[in-house]
Chain A
């Protein structure tokens, strides 16, 4: 029924839809921001006012159709004013990760032909200033937080957002109908945003997304999982990631929910508790972290609590299997599960801020099946989604009562799915991008034959669920030609609470080997409990007791391996955590396998030389302030016994 009501929204651009929201529910809260310790609300009316002021201010600066504005900012309402303001003028917004380094920012700004940059504070402005001579196309840098900007005030390359608002308000006063007519000129099939894809190699590509792409995604997602306009959402993912835009542009516009902005990146988790959102979306890492925290807290709790938790967790897990498959529970179990929910799990998830949460989505990478059961047992409806930046994030997802941890669910309404002869997942929908900015060859590859090529290998199982195996290009074969997916095996390892990160090798080799990062918090706590003293992460990783612990974990995983050649034969514990800044992980936390293999080449060699059981290595560190140091450390290699 909702379909008939909402289908007409597809004829709007995002700014037009914003205006429509103002006309239908102008006084309702659209945005909420925590500032100075208080939650400050903005209605749709105010949202529109700010957007108009921004748009007309940009207009005054000469920002026109097809011009690009880059946003390097923490999540604040101004991000939306600036993005949608630029879109209203027919311009195109683009998000850049706040963690990007100056050179990278320079390259992206140049590639995307950006003419205006929006930064939230001095930290980001300084990075742009550092590459100023390499970005002649950038005409203005707008900043939101004036703190520390005193030295820039004399330079008219910089503009304070309040001054932009003032300019916009003046233009509006002079010609009150101008903005409306500009907004009317927009067309839903115009590109409105360039979303950078987190390339595991090279510079990111900018996927050209249209107004219709976003709005369609919001509509189709909420077709399956409905949201009421009174629902709350907490915006804590990086804006440059499609996962945030699909909510702030797509879902929020399509449904009229309120978006809440945390006080700072560091306070996001405590702000989550205060807001108690109705749905959330996050990478697996977030859910893993929260679970680790719950485990630690329970572990530190007194005995009665622990007992209750363990007892009801077992009940909850049993109940969860029923709930996930949509089966009816036996009466006894249902009563016990209800009791557990009332006395244990509701108070527990209230501590995290999940009490009101109706659905939690995970995407971007695979999540261990046990994690689904864990959250479902707590009463958190955690579901897998699957999609790419090129299809606005979500194209497939689990339905309520049909959560199968090994699959990514079914396509959204009006999304077609096909598996190519090579086993690649292909999709078709209104949300598919028009292609990559200025990369016609790549675009042709991506959209060959009118289908979106995901680059992922997968198949559709007997229940009509899509199963994703790995990147087509990442699938490996051992010497005997047997296929395996490194990501799949890494996820197996990562499900152990003691293992934070793992890198699997074994392409064209006799066996599978792994480099493992222990989890500093969980293993640190474990070591403390065991009375093992340690100083740094490096020291902790080198402890023989820790190796024993990991050995047992790997043995357990090997026991459950589906196929003989999935078993991990040798492993070593790495002395440093894989890190985004060192280029070992992508911005979204995926492993750059090739890079890691090259960087730790001697470790890789030693893994495949069974005579080596110990090796002296030089660890090279680069600190945040640019200083470097090298440390000598010994690394041991462990061979699993054949079982």
Chain B
């Protein structure tokens, strides 16, 4: 429960500037969207926040925690979870198993306990199952609970991906293009889920998304990236009127 501040972050690969001096303040309890054309550095930014990359320059802070040099598992222990653009699920496991596995941080029992599935092990499993079931209910995944993820449609897999991130009980959820490749109906469902995640569960959301219509409708705050630089920010109306943004999206007249 804190603000995420990104100050002066630069990320270079050799001579290529993926991000240059990015400055962002992501407020608690809001849906903050990061938009921009392909290759603008949106996913790189998420990678920096979640600890997959470390910025070449600059600092990232989440409340009192310094994320600049943190590893992905440390970041997740600070209450930041991420749903990936290219689904990172175990395709051979069921939806339920995928979600239970995502709670491995909370599964604390010994190997012997686990082998015998007795006492602590079964109790802890039951507690975690309860938690996972709440998320299955929330994301309306009941019909797919026991189905193997690889057999599900892409739209449903995306929902499982978001559910997987939610099982980690985050305070801040990073969603990387959760609506890419979906049809209208699936998109509408996902929008509703995102709004409910914020409103009912009080989780802040950082949304990286291509679909401008969706973004304008649900975001409280926007940042526009182009060639690794922030070229505009503010509320939806403000951003939509920004000439720089229009230029980046539509091109010069």
Contacts and interface: CB of A to CB of B under 8 A. Distances in A.
Same complex origin of A and B: yes
Nearest to A627: B184
A264 B142 contact: yes
A264 B129 contact: no
B207 interface: no
Interface string B17-39: 00000000000000000000000
Contact of A267 (B130, B133, B134, B143): B143
Interface string A27-63: 0000000011110000000000000000000000000
A147 interface: yes
Nearest to A265: B143
Contacts of B145: 37
Given A36-B133, A147-B196, A150-B200, A263 B142 contact: yes
A202 interface: no
Contact of B184 (A147, A150, A264, A625): A625
Contact of A37 (B133, B184, B188): B133
A294 to B, nearest CB: 20
Nearest to B136: A37
A266 interface: yes
Contacts of A147: 138, 196, 200
B137 interface: yes
A263 B140 CA distance: 10
Nearest to B138: A147
B185 A625 contact: yes
B66 interface: no
B192 A266 contact: no
Contacts of B129: 37
Interface residues of A, number: 15
A596 B200 CA distance: 45
Contacts of B185: 624-625
Nearest to B145: A37
Interface string A148-177: 101000000000000000000000000000
A53 B38 CA distance: 58
Contact of B143 (A36, A150, A266, A624): A266
A36 B200 contact: no
Contacts of A625: 184-185, 188
Interface in B131-160: 133-134, 136-138, 140, 142-143, 145-146
Contacts of A266: 142-143
Nearest to A263: B142
Interface residues of B, number: 19
Contacts of B142: 37, 263-264, 266-267
Given A264-B143, A267-B142, A625-B185, A150 B199 contact: yes
Q: Is the interface of B mostly helix, strand, loop or mixed?
A: helix
Interface in B87-133: 129-130, 133
A36 B196 CA distance: 18
A148 B192 CA distance: 9
A397 to B, nearest CB: 33
Contacts of B192: 148
Contacts of B146: 270
Contacts of A267: 142-143
Given A148-B192, A264-B143, A267-B143, A36 B130 contact: yes
Contacts of B138: 147
Interface string A369-412: 00000000000000000000000000000000000000000000
Contacts of B133: 36-38
Q: In this complex, which of B130, B133, B143, B199 has the most chain A Cβ atoms within 10 angstroms of its Cβ?
A: B143
A624 B188 CA distance: 12
Interface in B203-252: none
A35 B134 CA distance: 9
A36 B134 contact: yes
Contacts of B199: 150
Interface string B43-85: 0000000000000000000000000000000000000000000
A552 to B, nearest CB: 34
B200 to A, nearest CB: 7
Contacts of A623: 184
Nearest to B133: A36
Nearest to A623: B184
A36 B199 CA distance: 21
Nearest to A38: B133
A270 B94 CA distance: 15
Interface string A268-284: 00100000000000000
Contacts of A264: 140, 142-143
B184 A36 contact: no
A551 B146 CA distance: 41
B196 A148 contact: yes
A73 to B, nearest CB: 17
Contacts of B137: 35-36
Contacts of A263: 142
Nearest to B132: A37
B6 to A, nearest CB: 30
A150 B142 CA distance: 24
Nearest to B195: A148
Nearest to A266: B143
Contacts of A150: 199-200
A267 B137 CA distance: 12
Nearest to B134: A36
A148 B129 CA distance: 24
Nearest to A122: B192
Contacts of B140: 264
Q: In this complex, which of A37, A147, A150 has the most chain B Cβ atoms within 10 angstroms of its Cβ?
A: A37
27 contacts: A35-B137, A36-B130, A36-B133, A37-B129, A37-B133, A37-B142, A38-B133, A147-B138, A147-B196, A147-B200, A148-B192, A148-B196, A148-B200, A150-B199, A150-B200, A264-B140, A264-B142, A264-B143, A266-B142, A267-B142, A267-B143, A270-B143, A270-B146, A624-B185, A625-B184, A625-B185, A625-B188
Given A147-B138, A264-B143, A625-B184, 11 more contacts: A36-B134, A37-B136, A37-B142, A147-B196, A147-B200, A148-B192, A148-B196, A148-B200, A150-B199, A266-B143, A625-B188
In the A-B complex, the 7 residue pairs with the closest CB atoms: A36-B133, A266-B143, A37-B133, A263-B142, A267-B143, A264-B142, A267-B142
